[in-house]
Each structure stands twice: as structure tokens, then as C-alpha cells.
């Protein structure tokens, strides 16, 4: 059996292509069921906003690739995995190494992200639920997840926040410690404001308010993050009640003036107020930060925090790559060792058959107790003769051409599995 990978990701394909190839849970289930019916009994679908990858163990990679493309076409209505610059195919060692790097966070859009490890686990669980798990896939995924966990516990590849929005959350939590009782006001429902709202929503504040010049966009974002929307005209009323205010608009001039902050703090004595200004030009008057208990963070401050953490993560990449190589080599040694197992069995069966034939011709001339001694003696002799070949066969590097050549030569020399000259690569014992 060989491992095949077919897919696209954020490095090879634009978002428009990735969107068309995204498989939700039910579509992934449908694909796995059809794969199982098509003879690809060990397969997995890993589909996120940044990648869709199909992994399958097969004895015929070209035929398996054709089947995968046909099934995707049937579900999506187009041959989205036909040869193109967007898609990639990898076999065996490179496919396994790619999955290990994905699990370790090395192939993510955000280096070292935590979410992908859970997504890999979920993809494996779905494959097992739909009957496309198995010994090979389970071992591959178990090893990949182990590599991902080691990367995050033995290195700082996931330490710190590396986006402006997540940095805003981290700095707010330094002030309040816990946002579960806090009220967050996000001014601006565009891309930056939306990202900030989603990050703060993960901390489950007691209230999350969205204000935007266009009310419909505020309503849509509020619905997504389970918050409440308000018109821009109510920002003055909301400011004294908020604990964290995030401004992310392109409006000219200051939406939150120094006077507005002063009036708000007059209504909330001894309660801190965190102002996060992501606007360009600036949305918050710097004069507001002169008030006691007011903490103002500019986009430059947040970028500095994010860049510092990203640089720290990048310094950890060589250590994570070493973990990936170690765990991948361990898996491939096990996987390629499967190829030697049936050869060892055939070799021992071959010698045992010859021993039994020769002993059977001679045992009649011995007494019963002597027959038992002859049988025991010849078995011991065969075991001793096969000890060194067995040891060396187990030590072969079946990932190299030299190792495979020696394995094939052994099969050919003893006519294992066929007539002399019919040596062939094993299929993993199945």
C-alpha cells in the first residue's frame, strides 16, 4: 500500500478556489462513504478555510487519483482537482511529512496556530465514523497528532499572539484579567472590526455591542458573534457603559474625542477603560488617554506586540522541523517495515517446507523417540540459519533504493511469491 495526498491550500490557491473545494461535515461524510464503496477503505478528508486535502492508502495511486477526482466532481459538479497550478499531489514519504507539518502548525497561514491540530483530529474521527479508518490511517494520524502536540509543548511555536486583533484581546485581558463580566464595544463592522469582534466573542464577554455607520452591516456582524447592534449615533451613550472599546473605521477625524472619554470616565469612577484604536486615520483622540484608568493602544503598539511574538515563533521553526522529521521517520520506518514482514514470513515458510519434506523422507527409519529428536534438531538448525538473514532484513532501509533492491533480490533468489525472476514490491501484507 502507498499513501496518496491530493489537495489545495492557501499557498497554492486563492480563496475563490478554496471556497469551491470546501467540504462541510455532511459533504465529507458523503465523499468518505463513496470512497469506501470504491475500494479506498482507508481515506480522510481534511477541509478548512485554508485547505482541502484528501489522504488515501492505495495500491494503485494513479487509479486512486482518478477515483478521487471523479467523486469530487460528482459532489461539487466540476473537476476541481484536475491538474493545475492550484492543486498538488504527493506520495508516501512526502505526503506523510506534509501532514506532520500541517499538524505541527508549520503549514498554516498563521504560523503555529492551535486550531489546525483539532481540525486534524476531527477529520480522523470523521473517517473512523464513516468506516474509512484502519490500521494504516490510524497510525499515520496518531503519529501526526503526536508530532503536533510535541511541537507545542516542547517549543514556543504557538506562544503569544501574532495578529493585531488577538493582540488587542491579550492587552485587554492584562487590564481586566477576565472578560466574562466585561462589556465590549466594537465600532466598525468591516474586515478589521469583524475580526476583532470574533476574537473578543471567543472570550464570552457579558455584552458585545457592534456600532457601524451602515446599520445592516452592524446587524449582520452582531448576529454572527451573538451580540447586539446599534446606530453610530448612540456611541456616546454606550461609551460610559463599555469596558473595552475597539475602533476600526476609515472615518476621517476622531469618532471618540478627549471630551467624550472625560465625560464617560466621570460616570464610571474607579473602573478602567481600554481603548483600542485600529483606525487609519486614528479614530480615538490621544487626549483621552490622559485620563486616570484609561488605557489607549494604537495599531502601531498592537503590531509591535504581534511582530515580536511572530519573530519568536519563527525562531522556533528549526526545532519544530526537527520534531516533524523525527516523528515522520519513525512512522515511515514502521510503514516500510510492513513490506519486510510478509517477506520474512515467506522466507521462513519456504525453509520450513523444505525441512519438512526432507525430514519426512527419512523419519521412517528412526524410532518414535528418535523422530522427535530429529524434528527438534532440524527446526533448531533452520532457526539458526535464518537468524542473521532475518536480523539484516529487519534492518533494511526500505525507504531507499538500495534497501528495496536487496529486498527484491531476496524474493528473487528464493523464488518467494512466484517463480524465479518474479520478485515484486510487497503491498504491506494485505
Kindly list the catalytic residues: 49
Q: Which three cell numbers stand for residue 280?
A: 487609519
Contact present, 102 and 5 (Cβ < 8 Å): no
Contact present, 206 and 180 (Cβ < 8 Å): yes
State the Cα–Cα distance between residues 72 and 76, nearest whole angstrom: 6
Among candidate residues 149, 100, 140, 141, the one with its CA nearest the CA of residue 123: 141
Among candidate residues 154, 124, 75, 149, the one with its CA nearest the CA of residue 319: 154
State the Cα–Cα distance between residues 216 and 204, nearest whole angstrom: 23
State the Cα–Cα distance between residues 255 and 213, nearest whole angstrom: 11
DSSP notation for 326-379: HHHHHHHHHHHHHHHHHHHHHHHHHHHHHHHHHHHHHGGGS-HHHHHHHHHHHH
Quick one: the chain helix, strand, coil %, rounded to 5? Answer: 60, 15, 30
> Strand pairing of 183-187 and 2-9?
unpaired
Among candidate residues 111, 14, 5, the one with its CA nearest the CA of residue 61: 5
> Strand pairing of 273-277 and 207-212?
unpaired
Find cell 492557501 and name the residue.
10
Among candidate residues 300, 252, 293, 310, the one with its CA nearest the CA of residue 276: 300
Q: Which three cell numbers stand for residue 242?
A: 463599555
Sheet of 88-91, strands arranged across: 43-47, 51-58, 2-9, 88-91
Q: Exposed, middle or buried by CB within 10 Å (0-12, 13-18, 19+), for 282?
A: middle
Amino acid at each position: 500500500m502507498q499513501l496518496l495526498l491530493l489537495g489545495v491550500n492557501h499557498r497554492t490557491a486563492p480563496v475563490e478556489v478554496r471556497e469551491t473545494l470546501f467540504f462541510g461535515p455532511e459533504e465529507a461524510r458523503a465523499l468518505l462513504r463513496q470512497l469506501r464503496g470504491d475500494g479506498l477503505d482507508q481515506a480522510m478528508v481534511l477541509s478548512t478555510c485554508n485547505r482541502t486535502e484528501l489522504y488515501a492508502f492505495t495500491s494503485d495511486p494513479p487509479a486512486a487519483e482518478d477515483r478521487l477526482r471523479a467523486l469530487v466532481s460528482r459532489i461539487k459538479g466540476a473537476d476541481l482537482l484536475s491538474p493545475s497550478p492550484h492543486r498538488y499531489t504527493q506520495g508516501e514519504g512526502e505526503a506523510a511529512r506534509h501532514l506532520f507539518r500541517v499538524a505541527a502548525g508549520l503549514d498554516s497561514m498563521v504560523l503555529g496556530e492551535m486550531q489546525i491540530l483539532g481540525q486534524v483530529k476531527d477529520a480522523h474521527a470523521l473517517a473512523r465514523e464513516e468506516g474509512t479508518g484502519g490500521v494504516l490511517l490510524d497510525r499515520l494520524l496518531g503519529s501526526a497528532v503526536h508530532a503536533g502536540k510535541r511541537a507545542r509543548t516542547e517549543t514556543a511555536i504557538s506562544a503569544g499572539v501574532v495578529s493585531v486583533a488577538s493582540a488587542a484581546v491579550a492587552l485587554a485581558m492584562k487590564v481586566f484579567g477576565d472578560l466574562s463580566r466585561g462589556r465590549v464595544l466594537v465600532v466598525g463592522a468591516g474586515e478589521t472590526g469583524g475580526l476583532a469582534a470574533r476574537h473578543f466573542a471567543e472570550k464570552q464577554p457579558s455584552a458585545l455591542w457592534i456600532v457601524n455607520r451602515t446599520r445592516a452591516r452592524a446587524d449582520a456582524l452582531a448576529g454572527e458573534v451573538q451580540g447586539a447592534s446599534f446606530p453610530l449615533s448612540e456611541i456616546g451613550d454606550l461609551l460610559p457603559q463599555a469596558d473595552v472599546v475597539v475602533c476600526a473605521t476609515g472615518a476621517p477625524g476622531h469618532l471618540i474625542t478627549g471630551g467624550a472619554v472625560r465625560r464617560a470616565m466621570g460616570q464610571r469612577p474607579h473602573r478602567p477603560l481600554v481603548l483600542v484604536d485600529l483606525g487609519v486615520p486614528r479614530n480615538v483622540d490621544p487626549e483621552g488617554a490622559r485620563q486616570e484608568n484609561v488605557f489607549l493602544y494604537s495599531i502601531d503598539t498592537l503590531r509591535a506586540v504581534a511582530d515580536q511574538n511572530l519573530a519568536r515563533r519563527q525562531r522556533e521553526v528549526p526545532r519544530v522541523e526537527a520534531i516533524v522529521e523525527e516523528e515522520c521517520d519513525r512512522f515511515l520506518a514502521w510503514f516500510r517495515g510492513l513490506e519486510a514482514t510478509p517477506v520474512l514470513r515467506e522466507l521462513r515458510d519456504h525453509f520450513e517446507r523444505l525441512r519438512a519434506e526432507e525430514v519426512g523422507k527419512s523419519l521412517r527409519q528412526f524410532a518414535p523417540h528418535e523422530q522427535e529428536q530429529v524434528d527438534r534438531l532440524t527446526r533448531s538448525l533452520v532457526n539458526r540459519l535464518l537468524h542473521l538473514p532475518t536480523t539484516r532484513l529487519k534492518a533494511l532501509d526500505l525507504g531507499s533504493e538500495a534497501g528495496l533492491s536487496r529486498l527484491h533480490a531476496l524474493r528473487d533468489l528464493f523464488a518467494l511469491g512466484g517463480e524465479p525472476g518474479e520478485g515484486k514490491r510487497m503491498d504491506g501484507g494485505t
